[in-house]
Amino acid sequence: MLSTNKLKKIKSNFPVLVGDNVVSKNICNLLVKEISNSKAFDDMIMGGRSRINKGSKNFNLYIKNSVNSAKLFKLFNSKSFYKKIDKLFTKNFKDGSWINLYKPEFFNPKKFTIKKKLNSSELKKILGNNYTNPKVNLDIDFSVSKGGYRLRPHRDDITRLFNFLIYLTDIPKKNGGSLTIYKKKTKKNIRKSFRRFPKMDELEIIKSFTPKKGTMVLFQSTPNSYHGVNRFIEKKCPKRFFIYGSYALNKPVIWKYKDATYYPHIIYSKSKMLTSFHDVNYLTSKPGH
């Protein structure tokens, strides 16, 4: 169902694999039909992205009634496929790359990232301060975006190891909706800090991926894995159907690059937000030091 042998690394300052026709066009069409037939979505975020999220009752019903989505979910939601992805990155990015300091051994197929709003103190309590012996799980959503959807440059949740995106429809370049990856405007390879939400003038574009049916983008969720989506204009084109997922830990990922180790620092906030909206910096010092 997935031709992972078509994934190739691209030139970037963090590990990225991309492949065309990783999912056949026929399967893409069937997946689009299944998402379109869904009677309900769990939420709408980012100005127009409707999601069916793993862990919800709606998701379970969707998988029960959607043959192709269920097959794809079963494939992703397994320790063997997670290990396959991990080996792909180890093989393609051998020297001088980012590594996860605490490798997970246990895969939990039932676990998912909580989709409820928390303040920073509650988030810290859930994640704790012990980084050893983590467990890994799949987070995934089946999504469709209408016009107006956009995503400002950011780095994803501090629990994530790998992120992936599968485009299910072709979107003309003029209509936007492209995934864009960025790097900091500096010649330094090592920095003492990486902000969760950098300012636009701190970044420069590495590459943009115009949505193309069957294309898969897979990247390591390192402290500098900045990416975003430019505004989607829904005019004389299909809606932006896609699958977005990640392999995440039950605690923060501690990243190492060469001789530098990066620890997450959650920025204090009284506001209750989804974990994906919290501001967290990666610094080369442990929290509290």
Q: What is the pLDDT of residues 232-283, one digit of tens each?
A: 998 888 899 999 999 999 999 999 998 899 999 999 999 998 888 899 999 9
pLDDT digits over 212-226, tens only?
999 999 999 999 999
Query: In Å, how far are 47, 119, 146, 227, 239 from 234, measured between CA atoms?
Result: 13, 35, 6, 21, 7
Task: Please count the other Cβ atoms lying within 10 Å of the Cβ belonging to residue 253.
Answer: 26
pTM, two decimals, is: 0.93
Of 26-30, 44-48, 216-220, minimum mean pLDDT range: 44-48
The pLDDT score that the predictor gives to residue 149 is: 84
Model confidence at 186: pLDDT above 80? no
The terminus-to-terminus CA distance of the chain in angstroms comes to 48
Q: Which two tokens stand for residue 204?
A: 């420069």
Model confidence at 83: pLDDT above 60? yes
The pLDDT score that the predictor gives to residue 184 is: 85
Q: Which residues pair with 201 in a beta bridge?
A: none
Phi, psi of 119 (to 5 degrees): -85, 175
Phi, psi of 185 (to 5 degrees): -80, 75
Model confidence at 288: pLDDT above 80? no
Q: How far does Cα 140 stand from its chain's mean position?
A: 9
Split at pLDDT 50, 70, 90, the class of 190 is low
How far apart, in whole angstroms, are the C-alpha atoms of residue 131 and residue 251?
6
Domain ranges of the chain: 4-283
- Annotation: CATH topology of 4-283: Jelly Rolls (2.60.120)
The pLDDT score that the predictor gives to residue 114 is: 79
Task: Please count the other Cβ atoms lying within 10 Å of the Cβ belonging to residue 236.
Answer: 8
